[in-house]
Amino acid sequence: MMGCGGRSLPARTFSHTVTPPMIERGTLSRRGFMHASLAGLTAAGLPLWYAREVHGADEAVRAVKAKAVGANDKINFGWIGIGSPQSRAFQVYGGTKGFKQTRHVAACDVDARHLKRAGELFKKDGYEAKEFSDFRRLNDDKSIDAVVVATPDHWHTLVAIDALRKGKDVYCEKPLTLTIEESLALQKVVKETGKVLQTGSQQRSEMTQFRLATDVVRAGRIGKVKLIECRIGGNPESGPIPEAKVPEGLDWDTWLGPTAKVPYREKAGKTNCHYEFRWWYEYSGGKMTDWGAHHIDIAQWCLGMDGSGPTGVEILDAKEVLKSGDGYNCHGTFKVQYTYAGGAKVIAMDGRGTTVKGLVRADGKPVTKRVTKTVKVEGQPDKKVTEEVAIDGIDGSENGVMIFGETGTVFVSRGLILASDAKILSEPLTKDDPKLYPSRPTSHMGNFIDCLKTREKPICDVTVGGGSVIVAHLGVIALQTGKAFTWDPATHAFTGTNAELGNAMKSRAMRAPWKLDV
């Protein structure tokens, strides 16, 4: 099984980004390091007051990483679904490096090639990890304290529930579940077991611009939210993909697990297996759950709807899908609109959003991009000159979250944070601080590790991740049926017209012997 993190979508090359730069202390003094860090953060677009808070949070993470612990205090990790070259698990594993509290003792994958690669990596890093092809056997190991679940989406819930019931804390990649029923089941088991579960939605922690955007929106700085555009990108199309021989070392039947038994398909990099499973509704939800688990999650956060959701969902438009059953079947383009009780609308869309002019950074400057021009000089070879060019606003194709309020607008992405007025971002939060989370974690894995000790809820716990993925699944159901639905977020049930159809689609049949036993 392989990881399921999303790839970043192509976007314009902006010169100013807000992802905190990696600055090593090296030979700098503490004061010199602090100044360098703050300079890097503010140059990246964060206001100084916020950069100071991020720097302080980063320093806290460094202190935790450096803290030596005894052998009996180390946290033993097991990894389920690791080893693919595209594996999200490898990236998450990288996030554990430097934490002296962690020890990596087990790996599991149904593809022998992946398991071998994971074993080699762990050995290189000084760990002797046991290897498993059956996640249940890894979860049986009482020496393991926590597991990371980075399988394809259709396996997340069964693997996580098995781990929780066997006494493990769980870090589970997004999207947290394949169905609404699975989300509710997983939330129930976490409550019953009292274990810690962190969903791998790093935009709430490591990508600090999303926290800033939510802070100012929840503080009321753009007035009541009217509309949020979640530009999550369209799904790729494949056409028919022929049946192919199962690669040596891959246990295809176990990979399919609870889903229907179908032939393995592959041609020219397109397949119904590793990584590309995302574009098949049988195993995932396409961009609605892949990137939607990120951007819809931020919309939920901005609206203060964690653990809740919309009251209705409808399709504004969607491209027809391939219906032959032998190729990608997620909608190539789409606009799915959600309505919330307070009147706000959220649109999850491939792109095609609103172009907004006049947006600026916290320092009042417009965003710029690097443009290379050819300059002709008489009698000399042509020269390439790169310069910064100001861009007036953000067009509708830019991946990210555009938040429209009654008195202002904020745009945030993995490379930008802009507002209709610089003061929205530049003025420190004091009395209007919404206090979204008790601390300001800048390491998602670090937040999980900390909560393993304190037993507090992580920043993206099962209620947060489970609630956001339900919203994404509502969109998938609307896309698959072409129907509009009303939804009761308190009872997690469809109501009114089309309720019977919608409620029937909250769950999916599982192939024996697998079942959701909750």
Q: Which residues contact 64 (CB under 8 A, 6 or more apart)?
A: 99, 101, 446, 449, 450
Residue 31 has what pLDDT? 53
Cα–Cα nearest to 174, from 210, 199, 203: 199
Sheet holding 197-199, edge to edge: 130-132, 102-108, 75-80, 146-149, 169-172, 197-199
Angle CA 83–88–91, to nearest 5: 90
Residue 39 has what pLDDT? 59
Q: Which residues contact 126 (CB under 8 A, 6 or more apart)?
A: none
Residue 41 has what pLDDT? 62
Residue 57 has what pLDDT? 82
Residue 46 has what pLDDT? 80
Q: Give the whole-angstrom CA distance, residue 405 versus residue 31.
A: 40
Token pair for residue 108? Answer: 């599991």
pTM: 0.91
HEC letters along 265-310: EEECCEECCCCHHHHCCCCCCCHHHHCHHHHHHHHHHHCCCCCCCC
Angle CA 340–345–349, to nearest 5: 125
Q: Taking a C-beta distance cutoff of 8 angstroms, is the pair 83, 110 a contact? A: no
Q: Give the whole-angstrom CA distance, residue 182 versus residue 203.
A: 23
**486: phi then psi, degrees, rounded to nearest 5:** -105, 150
Q: Taking a C-beta distance cutoff of 8 angstroms, is the pair 169, 102 a contact? A: no
Token pair for residue 196? Answer: 């810690």
Q: Give the whole-angstrom CA distance, residue 504 versus residue 151.
A: 26
Q: Per-block average pLDDT, block size 10, for the chain (518 residues)? A: 42 44 46 53 73 81 75 91 87 89 96 96 95 98 98 98 98 98 98 98 94 97 98 96 98 98 97 96 97 97 97 96 94 98 97 95 88 82 84 91 98 93 95 94 94 96 98 98 98 97 98 96
Dihedral angle computed from the Cα positions of residues 438, 404, 348 and 303, in that order, rounded to the nearest 10 degrees: 30
Instruction: Assign 71 to helix, strand or coil.
Output: helix
Residue 9 has what pLDDT? 42
For each of the domains in the chain, give its residue range(s) and CATH number, in order of start. 30-204+446-464 (3.40.50.720)
Token pair for residue 327? Answer: 């190729």
Q: Taking a C-beta distance cutoff of 8 angstroms, is the pair 16, 367 a contact? A: yes
Residue 387 has what pLDDT? 84
